[in-house]
Chain A
Amino acid sequence: DSGVTQTPKHLITATGQRVTLRCSPRSGDLSVYWYQQSLDQGLQFLIQYYNGEERAKGNILERFSAQQFPDLHSELNLSSLELGDSALYFCASSVGSNNQPQHFGDGTRLSIL
C-alpha cells in the first residue's frame, strides 16, 4: 500500500461530459503529480502541485485542469471528454518539490463511450 488514495477506481462516461478525479497524497507529502497512461502514448506527465501551488506542467490539454487544496488533496478535472481521453490516470505524491521518489496510487481507469 503506497498510502496514495485515488477515487474512483473506474469511471465510465460519454463524450462531451466532464469528470473529476480525486487524489489524497501520502501523509506528509506536499507534492502531487498527475499522469496519463494510454497504450499509444505511454505514461505522460500532466502536472505537478507543491503545497497548493502549480510547480510544473507537462502535456496537459487545455480541457484538463487540476488544483491542490489546503488539505493537500488534489483533483483533476477533465472536460469536453473525447474518446481519446480514455486512459488510466495516476496520481503520485512525494515529500518535496524536486521529484524525489514518487509514490503512486492505483489509478483511475476512465472509459469514454
Chain B
Amino acid sequence: SQELEQSPQSLIVQEGKNLTINCTSSKTLYGLYWYKQKYGEGLIFLMMLQKGGEEKSHEKITAKLDEKKQQSSLHITASQPSHAGIYLCGATNTGNQFYFGTGTSLTVIP
C-alpha cells in the first residue's frame, strides 16, 4: 500500500520562527495536496502540487514537490499563532483512492 509519512509528528515553535514540515511517499507522487485542520474541525485546502520541482506560495506558506516527486515540504515563514493546527499532506494512488499522511501537529507559542 502507498504511504505518506510526515515529519516531524509534532512541532512547537515560538511565534516568529520559521519551520518546515516534510511529507515522504513510498512511491512516485502524481499530485500532492496540503491541508490544514484545526482540532475537531474540517480540513482547509492549502495548496496542490503536480509537477516535480513545482513550488507554490500563499501568504507565508510555501510548498514544494521535489524533482523525483517522492517528497514534499511545507515551509512557514515567521510563524503566527494562527498557523497552529494539524497539517496533512494527501495524494491519490493508482486505484484513485485518496489517502492522507500521518499528520503534523503545530503549536505556535505567542
Q: Which residues of A contact B (CB under 8 A)?
A: 2, 4, 33, 42-43, 45, 48, 55-58, 88, 90, 92, 98-107, 109
B: number of interface residues (CB 8 Å)? 20
Which residues of chain A come closer than 8 Å to B44, judged between CB atoms?
2, 104
Asked if residues B42 and A104 are in contact (CB atoms below 8 Å), the reply is: yes
Number of A-B residue pairs, CB cutoff 8 Å, is 59
Asked if residues A101 and B45 are in contact (CB atoms below 8 Å), the reply is: yes
Q: Is the interface of A mostly helix, strand, loop or mixed?
A: strand
Say whether B65 faces chain A, with CB atoms less than 8 Å apart: no
Which residues of chain B come closer than 8 Å to A102, judged between CB atoms?
33, 43, 45, 98
* Beyond known contacts A98-B92, A103-B45, A105-B42: 6 more, CB 8 A cutoff: A43-B100, A48-B96, A58-B98, A90-B43, A101-B33, A104-B43
